[in-house]
Amino acid sequence: MKSLRIVFAGLLLLTTLYAHAEAEVTAVRLWPAPDNTRLVFELSGAMEHRLFMLRDPERLVIDLKDTRFGKNIGRLEAAGELVGGVRSAPHDGSLRVVLDLKQRVQPKTFTLPPSQGYDYRLVIDLYPEGGDEIATLAAAAERPSGTGKASDLPKAASSPPAKAPAASPARGRDLVVAIDAGHGGEDPGAIGAKGTREKDVVLAIARKLKALVASEPGIKPVMIRDGDYFVSLGNRVRKARTAKADLFISIHADAFLNRSANGSSVYMLSDKGATSEHARFLAQKENDSDLVGGVSLDDKDDLLASVLLDLSQTATKEASSDLAERVLGNLGGLGKLHKSHVERAGFRVLKAPDIPSILVETAFISNHQEERLLKSAQHQQSLANAIFKGITTHLRRYAPPGTLIAQQAALDRNQRGTSDLRLVAAPPAEPEPEPITPQTHLADKDLDPFDEDNPLSAFR
């Protein structure tokens, strides 16, 4: 090693103008995701690298020119479905890192300049050959559960024949709710004074919301991120569309220089600029996620470029607005709101033209008290409950035809017809000291089968 260093020193003297100084690897991180595994080298300077595969057994070799490991590099443990082991050694003036692979992979590499507290980064994404998560999601979306066809009916064999009347209509499809936990992997999101990371608390809230959605008949969840890995903003939208999502809920925790800022807020996409300075600031910060999380500059986002044409889709906007209002209303019942109205800004993750999409800033992680709340499982559950309630009340009004929720709503309307008659025809009740119950409240106004105050609604 010593002699190598001397050789390096000599070379450097000769080529100072052209060559980099010896760089240090200051950190190495491995992020296994469902459809890829990401390896990140953080370096004290920009370095040339070389990558090649070896077969039988499968290995990936990475040579980092003029580079050595820094002193504080811990041991990198293999993790995930693709990488079975990691070895390294100096090799021919380079640092050679060998990944022992569990299967054949396709690597994709790119470098990132220093940003947001990171040094230079070399990112190596490994994709299993022939497998990718978007393809898997597409296959899942094609499965019968979403089509509303007769084949979607529960298996006759699993239910008693007596309970399956021949004339009953086909069960409508389930609505798909895409749950998007912000940030992840290289991108921690905002960080609280006590070190709480946005990416962790929003994933915890997202998982609680997923459980609620999964337990509700007629809707099913799709997690856009379900672990500590990064998903680019474009891929978040793409995954939601591939899964044929009917709604898209992005979950975040706000941060602001002023530590007294607090409360929940709900955002939707604006195609005409932001509704406030904070909304503009926040959208910019959230849109920077790709820079921090690591996306190759040559990743062309055709989808996001093309959707601008479709942003005039008023149906999506109207539904997004209703969804945002309902979620905001329920968060308001839980605690303080940062803004009492829905805000709008140019969030890239909300740009699916055909999916009503909102972004929920659950609380300010930069606020001491709210940082503590965000870490509490109980408060995470309350936030998930509030978002869930907003989703279900929205869906009662906006469920598309052919869905189970729409069928139940129609059924409710029919029942309301009879109930109306009953309410009108019923003799006045015995006068009694009556508290204001939902029932008496209802008699005073138009019955709305979707109204959450309506005790006749099956969704209560």
Minimum distance between the CB of residue 324 and Zn ion, rounded to whole angstroms?
17
Q: Does 252 bind Zn ion (CB under 5 A)?
A: yes
Nearer to Zn ion, 28 or 224 (CB): 224
CA 356 – CA 455 distance, rounded (Å): 28
CA 292 – CA 414 distance, rounded (Å): 53
Q: Choose the stretch contacting Zn ion; rule: CB under 5 A; options: 77-85, 250-258, 262-270, 412-420.
A: 250-258
Interface size with Zn ion, residues (CB under 5 A): 3
User: Strand, coil or helix: what is 143?
Assistant: coil
CB-facing half-sphere around the CA of 126: CA atoms within 13 A:
29
Q: Give 328-357 as a DSSP string.
A: HHHHHHHS-BS-SS-EEE--GGG--TTS-E
Answer for which of 182, 185, 329, 353 binds Zn ion (CB under 5 A) is: 182
Q: Does 192 bind Zn ion (CB under 5 A)?
A: no
Nearer to Zn ion, 210 or 252 (CB): 252
Minimum distance between the CB of residue 143 and Zn ion, rounded to whole angstroms?
32
Nearer to Zn ion, 126 or 240 (CB): 240
Q: Choose the stretch contacting Zn ion; rule: CB under 5 A; options: 184-192, 235-243, 430-438, 443-451.
A: 184-192
Site for Zn ion in 310-369 (CB under 5 A): none
Q: Does 189 bind Zn ion (CB under 5 A)?
A: yes
Nearer to Zn ion, 262 or 393 (CB): 262
Distances (CA, A) of 28 to 41, 76, 83, 200: 5, 7, 14, 20
Q: For 124-264, where are the alpha helices, taking DSSP H only?
A: 133-142, 198-214, 233-242
Taking CA 309 as the corner, what is the angle to CA 304 and CA 312, rounded to the nearest 5 degrees?
115
Nearer to Zn ion, 128 or 182 (CB): 182
Minimum distance between the CB of residue 98 and Zn ion, rounded to whole angstroms?
36
CB 64 within 8 A of CB 49: yes
CB 62 within 8 A of CB 124: yes
Nearer to Zn ion, 120 or 364 (CB): 364
CA 282 – CA 288 distance, rounded (Å): 10
Contact map string, positions 196 to 225, toward Zn ion, x by CB under 5 A: ------------------------------
CA 326 – CA 354 distance, rounded (Å): 19
Distances (CA, A) of 182 to 90, 170, 315: 38, 37, 25
Site for Zn ion in 31-90 (CB under 5 A): none
Minimum distance between the CB of residue 435 and Zn ion, rounded to whole angstroms?
44
Q: Choose the stretch contacting Zn ion; rule: CB under 5 A; options: 85-93, 112-120, 245-253, 380-388.
A: 245-253
Backbone phi and psi for residue 335, each to the nearest 5 degrees, phi listed first: -175, -155
Minimum distance between the CB of residue 189 and Zn ion, rounded to whole angstroms?
5
Nearer to Zn ion, 284 or 340 (CB): 284
For residue 458, give the amino acid letter. Answer: A
Minimum distance between the CB of residue 177 and Zn ion, rounded to whole angstroms?
19
Nearer to Zn ion, 215 or 284 (CB): 284
Minimum distance between the CB of residue 234 and Zn ion, rounded to whole angstroms?
16
| Interface positions with Zn ion (CB under 5 A) | 182, 189, 252
